Chains A and B, each alone.
Chain A
Amino acid sequence: MALTTEQIAEKTKALKEFIAEHKDMPGPLMPIMQYAQESFGYLSLENQLLIAESLGIPVTEVYGVATFYAQFSLQPKGDNVISVCQGTACYVKGGAAVLAEVEKELGITSNQTTADGKFTIQDTRCLGCCGLAPVMTINEDVYGKLTPAMVKDILAKY
Chain B
Amino acid sequence: MNKMIELTIDGISVSVPEGSTVLEAARAAHINIPTLCYLKDVQQIGACRLCLVEIEKQRGLCAACVMPAADGMVVRTNTEKLRKQRRINLELLLASHNRECTSCVRSGSCELQALCNEYGVKEYPYDGAKKETLYDELSPSVVRDNSKCINCRRCVAACNNVQEIGAIGVSKRGFKTQIGPIYGRTLAATSCVNCGQCIVACPVGALHEKENISDVWDAINDPDKYVVVQPAPAVRASIGEEFGLPMGVAQTGKLAAALRRLGFNRVFDTNFGADLTIVEEGTELINRLKDKNAVLPMITSCSPGWISYCEKFYPEFIPNLSSCKSPHEMEGAMVKSYFAEKMGIDPSTIVVVSVMPCTAKKYEAARPELASNGMKDVDYVITVRELARMIKQAGIDFAKLPDESFDSMLGESSGAADIFGATGGVMEAALRSVYEILTGKTLEKVDFTEVRGTTGVKEATIDLDGTKINVAVAHGTANAKKVLEAVKRGEKDYAFIEIMCCPGGCVTGGGQPIVSSKDFQYIDLKTIRAKALYSEDAGKAVRKSHENPEIKAIYAEYLGEAGGHKAHELLHTTYSAKEKYYV
A residues apposed to B, CB below 8 Å: 45-46, 48-49, 57-61, 63-64, 67-68, 74
Q: Which of B166, B168, B171, B191 contacts A57 (CB 8 A)?
A: B166
**Nearest-CB distance from A70 to chain B (Å)?**
9
CB distance from B183 to the nearest CB of A (A): 7
Whether A60 touches B583, Cβ cut-off 8 Å, given contacts A45-B183, A48-B182, is: no
B126 CB-CB contact with A under 8 Å: no
Total contacting residues, chain B, CB less than 8 A: 18
Could you jot down 23 A-B contacts, CB within 8 Å? A45-B183, A45-B583, A46-B583, A49-B583, A57-B166, A58-B160, A59-B182, A59-B191, A59-B581, A60-B156, A60-B166, A60-B167, A60-B169, A60-B181, A61-B160, A63-B171, A63-B183, A64-B170, A64-B171, A67-B172, A68-B171, A68-B173, A74-B183
Q: Are B583 and A58 in contact (CB under 8 A)?
A: no
CB <8 Å contact, B182 and A63: yes
* Chain A residues within 8 Å of B166, by CB: 57-61
Is B581 a contact of A45 with CB atoms below 8 Å?
yes
> CB within 8 Å of A: which of B172-189?
172-173, 181-183
Q: Is B165 close to A, CB under 8 A?
A: yes
Closest to A74 in B: B183
Interface residue from B167, B172, B173, B183 paired with A58 (Cβ < 8 Å):
B167
1/0 per residue, CB under 8 A from A, across B392-409: the answer is 000000000000000000
Which B positions have Cβ atoms within 8 angstroms of A? 156, 160, 165-173, 181-183, 191, 580-581, 583
Closest to A45 in B: B583
Cα A44 to Cα B583 with chains together (Å): 10
A134, B191: Cα distance in complex, Å? 46
**Chain B residues within 8 Å of A45, by CB:** 182-183, 581, 583
A64 to B178, CA, bound (A): 9
Q: Report the bound CA distance from A67 to B173 in whole Å.
A: 8
Residues of B within 8 A of A46 (CB): 583
Residue numbers in B under 8 Å from A63 (CB-CB): 169, 171, 182-183
A-B contact count (CB 8 A): 47
Give chain A residues whose Cβ lies under 8 Å from the Cβ of B156.
Answer: 60
A2 to B312, CA, bound (A): 32
Task: Kindly list the 10 A-B residue pairs having the minimum CB-CB distance in the complex, ordered from nearest.
Answer: A58-B166, A60-B169, A63-B182, A67-B171, A67-B172, A64-B169, A64-B170, A60-B166, A68-B173, A64-B171
Interface of B, secondary structure class, is: loop
Q: Give me 5 other A-B pairs in contact (C-beta within 8 A), A46-B583, A67-B173 excluded.
A: A58-B160, A58-B169, A60-B166, A60-B169, A61-B169
Nearest chain B CB to A120 CB, angstrom units:
19
CA of A74 to CA of B172 in the docked complex: distance in angstroms? Answer: 12
Pick from B181, B182, B581, B583 the residue with the most CB of A within 10 Å.
B182
For the complex, what is the distance from the CA of A64 to the CA of B166, rounded to whole Å? 11
User: Does A60 contact B581, Cβ atoms closer than 8 Å?
Assistant: no
Complex: A63 Cα to B169 Cα, angstroms: 8
CA distance A61 to B168 in the complex (A): 9
Q: Please tell me if the beta carbons of B183 and A68 are within 8 angstroms of each other in the complex.
A: no
Report B-chain residues with C-beta under 8 Å of the C-beta of A74: 183
When distances are taken between beta carbons in the complex, the residues of chain A under 8 Å from B182 are 45, 48, 59-60, 63
B residues within 8 A CB of A67? 171-173
Q: For residue A68, which residues in chain B have a CB less than 8 angstroms away from its CB?
A: 171-173
Known: A48-B182, A49-B583. A60 touches B168 (CB 8 A): yes
> For residue A56, which residue of chain B has the nearest CB?
B164
Closest to B579 in A: A49
Which A residues are CB-close (under 8 A) to B183?
45, 63, 74
Looking across the interface, which residue of chain B has its beta carbon closest to that of A62? B182
Flag if B581 contacts A49 (CB, 8 Å): yes
* Complex CA–CA separation, A94 to B572 (angstroms): 72
CA of A151 to CA of B169 in the docked complex: distance in angstroms? 41
Bound together, the chains give a CA A64 to CA B176 distance in angstroms of 12
A64 proximity list for chain B (CB < 8 A): 169-171
- The distance in angstroms between the C-alpha atoms of A61 and B161, with both chains bound, is 12
In angstroms, Cα B168 to Cα A35, docked, is 25
B484 CB, nearest partner CB in chain A, Å = 14
